[in-house]
Amino acid sequence: MDIRIQSIHFDATEKLQAFVQKKVGKLEKYCDEIRKVEVSLKVVKPETAKNKEAGIRVFVPNGDFYVEKVCDTFEESIDEGVDALEKQLLKYKEKQRGK
């Protein structure tokens, strides 16, 4: 699984990148057909609370899944995004089994 991290308008620390790799890597246990994951991290309106946006796109053979979360921290945004993707991937896998 190829994981690409893009930080928009700021430089992501190695610690943040390692956190993203670890969290996104866990998605593989829900679906082993994942080809690529693209994570985009962006700061929206710097002076407000809840300004860290994480968009995660997961590519699988018959399409892709996308989730976008905005929270106080990038870690929180990634956590919530990964949780949402886990549900989507489980649904996808059940549909695949049903065919």
- The mean of the pLDDT values for the chain is 92
Question: CA dist 57 to 3, 45, 63, 66, 98, Å?
Answer: 10, 23, 10, 4, 24
Question: pLDDT for 6-60, tens place per residue?
Answer: 999 889 999 999 999 999 999 999 888 899 999 999 998 777 888 999 999 999 9
Question: pLDDT for 68-80, tens place per residue?
Answer: 999 999 999 999 9
70 and 49 in contact (C-beta within 8 Å)? Answer: no
Beta bridge partners of 96: none
Question: Does the global pTM surpass 0.75?
Answer: yes
DSSP-derived letter for residue 7 is: E
Class of domain 2-98: alpha beta
Domain ranges of the chain: 2-98
Question: pLDDT for 44-54, tens place per residue?
Answer: 877 788 899 99
